[in-house]
Amino acid sequence: MAISGKRIVITGGASGLGLELVRQLTPDNEIIVIARESEGLKQLGSDYPEISIFKADLSDDVAVKMAATDLVAKFPAIDGLINNAALQYTPSFLDPDFEYDQIAKEVAINFTTPAQLCYLLLPSLLKGNLPFILNVNSGLGLVPKTSSAIYCATKGGLNILSQALQNQLEQTDVAVLQAFLPLVDTAMTKGRGEGKLPPDRVASDILKGIAARKAMIDVGKVKLLRPISRFMPRLARKIMKSG
C-alpha cells in the first residue's frame, strides 16, 4: 500500500514526531491535525496552509468529542488515523514533586483519547480506501521502567486495546497497527537518556510499516527488546528498570 492520495488524521501534529509525520506525508496526502492550541500549531498552519486543523485539548473528553464530531461532518471518509500525541511525567509516586492531578491527564492523552478517537472516527474510516489506525506505542508498553509508571501503564493498555481492536475489526478493511518506539529525540525526552533516534528516521520507519500494513512496527532497539522480553523476561525487566 503506497501512502499516497490518502486522507490521514494525526494527533499532536504540531511538534516532535507528529510534526515530522506531517512533513513526510503532506506532499502526497491530505492531512488533518487534531491538537491543542499552541504557538507550534499556529506555525504549522502558517507553514502548511493546506492542512485542516481541529483544535482540541486532548485531555478533555468533551473537546475531543466536539473535534471528532466536526471532523466526521466535514470528512465523511478518511483513510487513516495516527494516534501520535503523548504525555509523560517522570516523577515516581515517592517523589515530592509528583502531582496527583497529572494522573488523569496522562491517562487521558495516552490512552483514553486514542480509544475515543478510534471509536468516533470509525464510521469515516469504514468508508475509506484501505483504511488504517496506527497507534504510536513505546518499548515501555512491553516492559516498564521504574519512573513514569502511569506512562508505562497507558502504553501497556494501548497495546492490549490495539490487539482487541484488531480482533473486532478483522472482518473489515480497517487495519489496526502499532509502532513501538525507543527513545526519540523530541521535546518530551529533553534531558533524558542517550542514543535517541532522530524524529525523521523514526517517522520514515513508521510510514514504511504502515505502507506494508504491519501489525507491529518495531523501531530501533525495540527489535531486540521484543524477543528478550518474550524469552528472557527477567533480563528484559532488569535492562529496562533504569531505562
Give Cα 141 distance to the centre of its chain. Answer: 12
Question: How do residues 214-242 score in pLDDT, each as one tens digit?
Answer: 999 999 999 999 999 999 999 999 999 87
Ramachandran bin of 173, using left for φ above 0, alpha for ψ from -120 to 50, beta for the remaining angles: alpha
Set of cell numbers at residue 237: 525487566
The C-alpha atoms of residue 69 and residue 174 are separated, in whole angstroms, by 20
Look at residue 195 in the predicted model and tell me its pLDDT: 76
CATH architecture of 7-241: 3-Layer(aba) Sandwich (3.40)
Which tens digits make up the pLDDT trace of 129-168? 999 999 999 999 999 999 999 999 999 999 999 999 999 9
Sign, CA dihedral 126-72-120-52, equals: positive
What are the pLDDT digits (tens) for 68-108?
Answer: 999 999 999 999 999 999 999 999 999 999 999 999 999 99
Return the domain boundaries, the chain. 7-241
Mean local confidence (pLDDT), 36-53:
97
Give the other-Cβ count within 10 Å of 144's Cβ: 20
Q: Report how far residue 172's alpha carbon sits from residue 133's, in angstroms, rounded to the nearest whole number.
A: 12
pLDDT at 190: 66
pLDDT of residue 50: 97
* 3-state DSSP of 142-186: CCCCCCCHHHHHHHHHHHHHHHHHHHHCCCCCCEEEEEEECCECC
